[in-house]
């Protein structure tokens, strides 16, 4: 162990009670002030590592550990949590469960007060922590009334008030919208710049941490598959893909298009990655001018659109919704939206922009006092939510709000019985729904034994079994890893293609929108800000900025390279690969 190492794990193996091995032979050395990023698919062992560092395992989650762990001079295994927490603070995914005091001031004081820290010191620490996360002036606010990003920053400040030497962040941005994510990452960046704090962060968002990471650890089923500086790790796209980790888009583009051939393509500084959109665009221009790449403008098909003569299946007419408060909040302001049969529509916007309110009106969970929702040209006002569910199905973000039966197949039967489907037909529909989501083998399992991703699929199956004409998905990518991220969207695409269904998808994931949606609706402050073919909407950068929506990296790069003839309708990496083609010599080899 080096002298300046603040975290040291030597040959660590950990198994939870019941002998589920979560980490195997892990070695990690972190120096003071370093920023370590831990990547991996769901179930790779990232959270377990956080628990081991912070003492949550074994003090809250029991298990067996082999090997040596040292965190700021302590072995968290041997110390009670209140001792470890003074050296190593931990921030979890969900800010809601980390905030329990009535004001931000008392929230920050809670930790140090438990340790008997004197009041002046608590006030000093609180001021410093609030300054770091930029929440000054909100001391007397109830943390629960803050926005998502503010809540997570408040939870971070509460951890910082404990004055830890090591900060462990377990997917701190996974449940936030783009603005919230930006706010939290900015706060983390500021902490890093201070230099005193050692930070270990787990995430699926590789783009977010690209410029911050000093060291990257990639786990797969509890084992280390890659470890080293970001330049060294992120150039191994194949191995990252195998581990279910997304290679940052700019690195993919740079290594595949600009300088085919690998690791040297990265602009690096002490193993840190320093790759920017303008830098990659400049390299691409240079490659085109040098003849290594040529632009094939015709390679991207025209944006798909649904024929205007298709019937309108779902319509919001002059919808205005106000929540009573206090204070009263206008969630939708005279919204008019028409969805044609067979469309695949993406809906984006900040939290509070009205996305969920709009779809709740579509499925009858909210009954607006002003305006109307029509299905196939008829008002749904007189239909019950159950009757609407046979026409418009909504898959909620969290499947655990609906699962309650002992077997997966029972979960699907439940809705079918409620709508009065005959028993003999129920069997057939249950089988079909389970097959569609790939859970036929799990039909006899207790739903809570499934992984989170599979529980979501089960919720989709339960909705699809009702045979709706329109399927609405609310945030299918939240808390999902790179591999699982597109599974639900793929199910929606199958519904769209095989059953000629209509799909509406609420998401913050612009890559997902670019890949699946024909049309994009951007909501802002309860109004429709933009509505049109996805590629066209993504070109309206200034309008998008209002709602903190950033177009996909490929679309941004296409805009930069437009003078070279790259069509502005390019939205995905695949499309960019088709447009920017390596020049080949007579032997079919790429020109270096």
Partner 1 sequence: MEPIFRYTHLDTPIHRLHPLVKMGYVMLTLVLVMYPIRETDMPILLIWLGFSAVLWAVARIELRRFVTLLKILTGTFVFLILIQGLTYRGGDTPLIVLGHLKLWEADLGVITKEGTWFGLVLCVRILVATSSLPLFVMTTPTSAIMTAMGKLRIPQTVTFMFVSALSFTTLIFEMWGSIVDAQKLRAFDIDSMNVFKRAFKAYVPIITPLILLLFRKANDFQIAMETKGFGAPVKPTEIETLRARPADYVWLALIVIVFVACTVLKFAR
Residues that bind partner 1 (CB under 8 A): 54-56, 59-60, 80-82, 85-86, 89-90, 92, 94, 96-98, 100-103, 106, 109-119, 122, 140, 142, 144, 158-159, 162, 326, 360, 363, 365, 384-387, 389-390, 393-394, 396, 398, 400-404, 414-415, 418-419, 448, 462-463, 466
Closest separation in Å from C-beta 170 to partner 1: 10
Closest separation in Å from C-beta 523 to partner 1: 20
How many CB atoms sit inside 10 A of residue 201's CB?
Answer: 26
DSSP codes, 302-316? PPP---TTSPEEEEE
Closest separation in Å from C-beta 47 to partner 1: 11
Q: Tokens 């956080």 label which residue?
A: 50
Closer residue to partner 1, CB minimum distance, 120 or 498: 120
Query: Which 3 state secondary structure label does DSSP give 377?
Result: coil
DSSP codes, 147-171? -HHHHHHHHHHHHHTT--SEEEEES
CA end-to-end span of the chain: 44
Please provide residue 187's backbone torsions phi and psi, each rounded to the nearest 5 degrees: -65, -40
| Alpha carbons 553 and 438: distance in angstroms, whole number | 32
Who's near 405: CB < 8 A, 6+ residues apart?
411, 414, 447
Closest separation in Å from C-beta 415 to partner 1: 3
Closest separation in Å from C-beta 398 to partner 1: 7
Closer residue to partner 1, CB minimum distance, 364 or 552: 364
Tokens in use for 434? 């389970």
CB 12 within 8 A of CB 23: yes
Closer residue to partner 1, CB minimum distance, 83 or 374: 83
Closest separation in Å from C-beta 451 to partner 1: 15
Closer residue to partner 1, CB minimum distance, 159 or 191: 159
Closer residue to partner 1, CB minimum distance, 278 or 448: 448
Closer residue to partner 1, CB minimum distance, 59 or 285: 59
Rg (CA), the chain: 25
Closest separation in Å from C-beta 340 to partner 1: 23
Closer residue to partner 1, CB minimum distance, 157 or 553: 157
Closest separation in Å from C-beta 127 to partner 1: 15
Closest separation in Å from C-beta 138 to partner 1: 12
CB 144 within 8 A of CB 99: yes
| Alpha carbons 372 and 566: distance in angstroms, whole number | 43
15 beta partners: 21, 64
Closer residue to partner 1, CB minimum distance, 61 or 182: 61
Closest separation in Å from C-beta 88 to partner 1: 9
Q: What is the 3-state secondary structure (H, E, C) of 452-464?
A: HHHHHHHHHHHHH
Give the C-alpha distances (Å, rounded to integers) separating 258 from 46, 95, 353, 470, 560. Answer: 33, 41, 39, 42, 14
Closer residue to partner 1, CB minimum distance, 51 or 548: 51
Who's near 65: CB < 8 A, 6+ residues apart?
12, 13, 14, 52, 57, 58, 77
Closest separation in Å from C-beta 190 to partner 1: 22
Closer residue to partner 1, CB minimum distance, 81 or 277: 81
| Alpha carbons 468 and 387: distance in angstroms, whole number | 10
Provide the 8-state DSSP code for 590: B
Q: Tokens 């989501």 label which residue?
A: 437
Helix 408-418, helix 452-464: angle, nearest 10: 30
CB 346 within 8 A of CB 382: no
Closest separation in Å from C-beta 553 to partner 1: 34
Closer residue to partner 1, CB minimum distance, 292 or 429: 429
Closer residue to partner 1, CB minimum distance, 102 or 195: 102
How many CB atoms sit inside 10 A of residue 306's CB?
Answer: 17
| Alpha carbons 346 and 12: distance in angstroms, whole number | 44
């Amino acid at each position: 162990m080096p002298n300046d190492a603040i975290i040291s794990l030597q040959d660590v193996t950990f198994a939870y009670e019941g002998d589920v091995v979560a980490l195997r032979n892990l070695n990690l050395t972190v120096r003071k002030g370093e920023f370590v990023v831990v990547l991996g698919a769901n179930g790779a062992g990232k959270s377990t590592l956080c628990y081991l560092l912070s003492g949550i395992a074994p003090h809250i989650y029991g298990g067996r550990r082999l090997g040596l762990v040292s965190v700021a001079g302590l072995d968290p295994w041997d110390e009670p949590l209140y001792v470890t927490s003074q050296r190593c603070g931990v921030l979890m995914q969900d800010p809601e469960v980390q905030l329990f005091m009535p004001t931000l001031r008392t929230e920050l004081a809670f930790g140090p007060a438990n340790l008997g820290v004197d009041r002046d010191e608590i006030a000093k620490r609180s001021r410093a922590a609030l300054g770091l996360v930029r929440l000054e002036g909100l001391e007397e606010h109830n943390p629960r009334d803050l926005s998502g990003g503010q809540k997570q920053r408040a939870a971070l400040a509460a951890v910082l008030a404990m004055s830890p030497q090591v900060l462990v962040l377990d997917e701190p941005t996974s449940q936030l919208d783009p603005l919230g994510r930006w706010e939290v990452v900015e706060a983390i960046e500021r902490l890093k710049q201070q230099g005193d704090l050692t930070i270990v962060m787990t995430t699926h968002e590789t783009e977010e941490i690209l410029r911050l990471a000093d060291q990257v650890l990639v786990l797969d089923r509890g084992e280390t598959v890659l470890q080293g500086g970001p330049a060294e790790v992120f150039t191994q796209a194949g191995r990252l893909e195998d581990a279910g980790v997304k290679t940052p888009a700019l690195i993919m583009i740079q290594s595949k298009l600009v300088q085919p051939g690998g690791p040297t393509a990265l602009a690096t500084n002490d193993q840190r990655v320093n790759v920017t959109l303008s830098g990659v665009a400049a390299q691409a221009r240079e490659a085109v001018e040098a003849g290594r790449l040529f632009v094939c403008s015709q390679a991207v098909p025209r944006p798909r659109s649904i024929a205007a003569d298709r019937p309108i299946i779902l319509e919001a007419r002059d919808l205005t919704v106000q929540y009573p408060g206090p204070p009263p909040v206008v969630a939708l302001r005279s919204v008019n939206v028409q969805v044609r049969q067979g469309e695949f529509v993406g809906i984006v916007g900040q939290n509070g922009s009205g996305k969920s309110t709009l779809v709740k009106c579509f499925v009858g969970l909210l009954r607006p006092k002003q305006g109307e929702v029509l299905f196939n040209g008829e008002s749904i006002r007189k239909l019950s939510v159950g009757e609407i569910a046979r026409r418009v199905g909504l898959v909620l973000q969290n499947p655990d709000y609906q699962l309650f039966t002992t077997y997966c197949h029972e979960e699907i039967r439940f809705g079918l019985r409620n709508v009065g489907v005959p028993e003999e037909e129920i069997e057939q529909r249950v089988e079909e729904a389970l097959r569609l989501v790939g859970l036929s083998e799990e039909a006899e399992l207790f739903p809570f034994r499934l992984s989170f991703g599979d529980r979501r699929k089960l919720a989709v199956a339960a909705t699809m079994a009702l045979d709706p004409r329109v399927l609405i998905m609310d945030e299918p990518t939240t808390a999902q890893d790179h591999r699982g991220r597109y599974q639900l969207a793929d199910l929606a695409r199958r519904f769209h293609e095989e059953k000629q269904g209509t799909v509406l998808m609420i998401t913050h994931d612009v890559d997902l929108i670019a890949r699946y949606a024909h049309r994009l609706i951007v909501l802002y402050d309860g109004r429709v800000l933009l509505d049109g073919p996805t590629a066209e909407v993504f070109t309206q950068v200034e309008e998008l900025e209002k709602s903190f929506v950033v177009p996909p990296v490929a679309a941004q790069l296409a805009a930069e390279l437009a003078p070279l003839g790259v069509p502005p309708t390019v939205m995905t990496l695949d499309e960019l690969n088709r447009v920017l083609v390596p020049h080949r010599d007579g032997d079919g080899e790429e020109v270096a």
